[in-house]
Each structure stands twice: as structure tokens, then as C-alpha cells.
Amino acid sequence: MKIGFIGTGVMGHAIIVNLMNAGHELFVYNRTKSKTDDLVANGATWKDTPKEIAAASEIIFTMVGYPQDVEQVYYDESTGIFASDVKDKILVDLTTSTPSLAEKINQTANDKGAASLDAPVSGGDLGAQNATLTIMVGGEQTVYNKVMPLFEKMGKTYTLHGTAGKGQHTKMANQIMIAGTMTGMTEMLVYADKAGLSLQKVMDTLAGGGAANWSMTNYGPRILKDDYSPGFFVKHFIKDLKIALDEAKKMSLDLPSTQLATQLYEKLADQGNENDGTQALIKLWWKERTNS
Ligand code: NAP
């Protein structure tokens, strides 16, 4: 199948490799062209604009950073996906973005005889590399059925949650949960460290009990190695938490724990750590770790 892919960062690059390994023909575009060099060396075809990607492909995936990037990639009047004839094509946005933008893209796609899905993912850089992502989808069942064979090459769990935008809402539910597991893991490590415990032993023990969770299993070991590389960027988590709080506000919901997590991550970013991975939250407490 001819697949277009826009956004070849941490997540997009790894997903493209899996799609190419499954035998698909890939057309790629990224703001910084050099991030596609190895993909092109391995058989992908570079296109100069999202518009050209759309013209060359049957299904177009986007995996960019922020909602404004999604807006630009789809709607730029001269270079965007919708500047191309998209009739009968399927557009799938994997970016974590706003439910309202997903609805808008769906409306435009339908107006132009195309179809769209919002399909944000969870599972991190390793999930993308190992094709074990969880994919949360909004859109029409018939469109979902057509894209499912490709979701199978990217992830282990994929679920249609309803009409356009519902995939993004599900991702917000996911991020609200992650806000709790990241702050919980961080405070747990800070406490265990001060109490003079072996952090490795504590994590091994907790992983077998009621406190077991994905954040600790995946990011705890990175913290113990002082590895704060992304993974999942602090700046993107702040973006997600702000979308979640905005959506909650629209539903007249107060989410104080998510608000506090947002403030903590904003403080971390203000200290110059916005391009670290989210496990860097512990830097708010640790200048130097005392135990290991
Ligand atoms: P990333 O490494 O920054 O990748 C985003 C890519 O999109 C970059 O290569 C960027 O280009 C490109 N891009 C941005 N705007 C563009 C535009 N207008 N035109 C063309 N390309 C554009 O981030 P990531 O970690 O892959 O995350 C991507 C999305 O997935 C984010 O929404 C994030 O919240 C979400 N997500 C990430 C994870 C994770 O663990 N990393 C997990 C789940 C969801 P440049 O190279 O020029 O910057």
C-alpha cells in the first residue's frame, strides 16, 4: 500500500520503520529534512510538502508535535494536505491534539470526499519501536476497519471509541492518569531515597504489588541511570495536560491533581528542562542522588 507519513520524530520515525518492514511503500515529509535521511536510504521516498505526500499516497498519517503543527500540515493553503485532491483518501492523525481540531479535520475531509481518523497513541518511544503501542481511535467504523491492518503493524491494542474527536478525548483520559503515575513515582523515589532505601530494591518490590504501574516500570530505570533523554518530551506533556484541563473546563470539571501536575511540569520547563523526557520531573527534588 502507498502510505504517506508526515512527522519523522521520535515516534513517527519508529512507526515508519515498522510499516516499511511490513512491506509498504512509504512517502515521507518532515520539517527538518535530515530526520528522513536514513528512511530514504532504506527505500522511503521524500516529498517536498504535505500536499505532495497526499497526492502520492492512499493513506496519509501525521505524527507532528502540537495542534498548531497539525493545523499547518492539513490546512496550509499552498502546501497543506487539503491543498491536494484528497478524494477517496484516508487521513489519520496520530498526533496528540485537540478533540475540536480532530472534528474539524473530519468535517473538511468529508466535504472533500475523503475520510479521517484521530488516532493518538500511548506506549512511548519503546512502544513505537517495538510495535506495542496502544492506539485510541475516533471516526467511522468502516474507515477504522480499513486502517486496522496498519494499526496492527504499529501497536498491540487499538480501539474505536466513537466519532471524530473521541480518540483524542480517550488520550486525554490517558494523560490525566499518567499525570498521577508520574508524580506518584517521582515522590515515591524522593521519599525512598531520603529514607535510605535501595531504590532498585524498592522498585522491584513495588512492581509486584498494588503500586505497580507503567511509568515506574519504564521510566524508573532511566532515572536510576540518570538518563533524562526523551522518550516523551516534557514540553509535549505540558501541551497534553493543558488540552486535558481545557477540555475539563468545557465540561465544568475541576481536576486539581492534574492542575498541580501541570504546574510542576511547567516549573521544570521554566528551569530549562522542556526538551528532557518526562522522567526529569525528579530534578525538581534531586540535584544529586544519595542512594541507588
Ligand atoms: P518529536 O520527536 O518532536 O516529533 C515531531 C516531528 O514532527 C518532528 O520531527 C518535527 O519536525 C515534525 N513536525 C512538527 N511540525 C511539523 C510541520 N509543521 N511540518 C512537518 N513536520 C513537522 O515528537 P514525538 O515524541 O515523536 O511526538 C509526536 C507526537 O506524539 C506529539 O504530539 C506527542 O505528544 C505524541 N506522543 C509522544 C509520545 C512519546 O513517548 N514520545 C507518546 C505518545 C504520544 P522537526 O524535526 O523539525 O522538529
Tens of pLDDT, residue by residue over 26-62, are: 999 999 999 999 999 999 999 999 999 999 999 999 9
Average pLDDT for 8-25: 98
Q: Residue 258: pLDDT above 60?
A: yes
Task: Report residue 287's pLDDT band, with 50, 70 and 90 as the boundaries.
Answer: confident
Q: In whole angstroms, what is the distance from residue 74 CA to residue 82 CA?
A: 6
| Cα diameter, the chain | 63
Task: Looking at the CA of residue 96, tell me the nearest atom of ligand 1.
Answer: 32
In the set 146, 171, 242, 287, the catalytic residue is: 171
Protein residue with least CA distance to atom 4, ligand 1: 9
124, 133 in Cβ contact below 8 A? Answer: no
Kindly give the distance from the C-alpha atom of residue 238 to the centroid of ligand 1, in angstroms, as a whole number. 14
Q: β-strand 133-137 against 121-122: which pairing, if any?
A: antiparallel
pLDDT at position 291 over 90: no
| 30 C-alpha to ligand 1 centroid (Å) | 9
Q: Which atom of ligand 1 is nearest to the CA of 124?
A: 40
Q: How far is the CA of 7 from the centre of ligand 1 (A)?
A: 6
Ligand 1 center–CA 195 separation, angstroms: 39
Percent of the chain residues topping a pLDDT of 70: 98
Among 10, 12, 89, CA closest to 277:
10
Is 112 designated active site?
no
Asked if the 169-288 domain carries CATH number 3.20.20.80, the reply is: no
Q: So where are the chain's domains?
A: 2-163, 169-288
Please, is 26 exposed, middle or buried when counting C-beta atoms within 10 Å of its C-beta (0-12, 13-18, 19+)? buried
Give the ligand 1 atom nearest the CA of 123: 42
Judge whether residue 292 has pLDDT over 90.
Answer: no
Read off the pLDDT of residues 147-181 as tens digits, 9 standing for 90 and up.
999 999 999 999 999 999 999 999 999 999 999 99
Second-level CATH architecture of 2-163: 3-Layer(aba) Sandwich (3.40)
Q: Whose CA is nearest to atom 42 of ligand 1?
A: 124
Residue 289, pLDDT score: 54
Nearest to 58 by CA among 130, 149, 184: 149
Residues framing ligand 1 (Cβ under 6 A): 6-12, 30-32, 35, 63-65, 69, 72-73, 95-96, 121-122, 124-125, 231-233, 236, 240
In the structure, what pLDDT confidence band is assigned to residue 288 with cuts at 50, 70 and 90?
A: low
Q: From CA 135, how far away is CA 119, in angstroms rounded?
A: 6
Which residue out of 31, 32, 133, 158 has the highest number of ligand 1 atoms within 8 Å of its CB and is therefore the one to mutate? 31
